[in-house]
Amino acid sequence: MQRSTRSQWRGSFPVFVVTLQWSGKTFYLSNKPAVIDKDGEPLQLHGGLVEDPPFESSLSEVGFNVASISTPIAAYLNNTDLSLQLSYNNTLENAIAELSYILVSDNSIQSYQDRTVLLKGLIKEPIIGHRDRSNGYFEASIESEVINTSLHNSGTLPH
């Protein structure tokens, strides 16, 4: 896991990125629009995250120290009708997700490869079909795969 240094944080702000693998596609959701480098190609982050992910963290000498193994998110998947997808039995449940951040300053933007990964896991309990939101809006939790594996291995979940 890449960690940002104190000098990298000076004059910078984080752009949170949720990388979501679902339905044969990869979606890049962010809290702010940005263009970053990914494998030598520009990657346009159009936003999509409604707010910064709410998790407990603290900035130390080496960067973020995350005390959470899951986090709720609210986001938009542009040009995607989630209710229609659900009617085809294509749900966001168990989609692969990664929460990370890149640092942006007036002088530079970190590349996607230099992002700091905060959490890798699966989408759990997605809620779609909000009356006052577009068809691409959803709320869900990203839960670390460690939680799922340990619960299944301990015998606390029904098989």
Greater confidence (138 vs 64) lies with: 138
Query: pLDDT digit string (tens) for 59-92?
Result: 444 444 444 488 999 999 989 999 999 999 999 9
Predicted local distance difference test score (pLDDT) of residue 6: 61
> In 3D, which of 81, 84, 56, 82 has the Cα closest to residue 71?
56
Q: Is the dihedral of CA 9, 15, 19, 20 positive or negative?
A: positive
- Please count the structural domains in the chain: 1
| DSSP bridge pairs for 119 | 99
Would you place residue 9 in the very low, low, confident or very high pLDDT band (cuts 50, 70, 90)? low
Predicted local distance difference test score (pLDDT) of residue 110: 87
Predicted local distance difference test score (pLDDT) of residue 66: 47
Predicted local distance difference test score (pLDDT) of residue 107: 73
Name the residue range of residue 129's domain.
6-154
Note whether residue 108 is domain-resident. Answer: yes
Note whether residue 159 is domain-resident. Answer: no
pLDDT higher than threshold 70 for residue 146 = no
Note whether residue 122 is domain-resident. Answer: yes
- 37-46, 62-71, 116-125: range with lowest mean pLDDT: 62-71
Could you tell me if 128 and 76 are in contact, meaning their C-beta atoms sit under 8 angstroms apart? no
Note whether residue 1 is domain-resident. Answer: no
Would you place residue 38 in the very low, low, confident or very high pLDDT band (cuts 50, 70, 90)? very high
- 52-61, 72-81, 88-97, 98-107: range with lowest mean pLDDT: 52-61
pLDDT higher than threshold 50 for residue 3 = yes
